[in-house]
Chains A and B, each alone.
Chain A
């Protein structure tokens, strides 16, 4: 089965602190792409970070980084120095065989 699982429906973090969002997935292939998308309230979904499965190095984009564990089929997102603007729904997604699979999302609350 090609599924993406986000086991944390909601999380909270204090402003300026670090939070990690979890994601696991199923696949029988070695070549695929993984993504984290952010969907702010009533706003458009935007890409946070992207990882090619053939790359061993974890992707990093400013305060956002991933921990990609290919053997464990795990793809967690770490947000450092959390800001109020990080509050949103975060979706983990996988692409292979010309199909996208999204998780159910994690709602991130940021406390001032």
Chain B
């Protein structure tokens, strides 16, 4: 199993450009997440999905969009890139066993994005 994969590894965007960060998992996990990590600020949840066709906002969703058409893929879209979106983006997935559990999250290697 490859686990959680993310592409690209690095990207430089100009202000106003758009791009999609790709995330895929091959563990048949039902839950998937997008985080951004800024230096010294920990991990901030952008969006998450509890299954194909279902997404919900996290702590910092503004400026981003997501979709989940399949169990495996959870792309993150930046429509109008801004310097404030310079960050490292991590995708994660987990398998929710029951409504009473909190799951272990498996993270991808990250995408380092710079907006100039």
> A and B from one assembly?
no
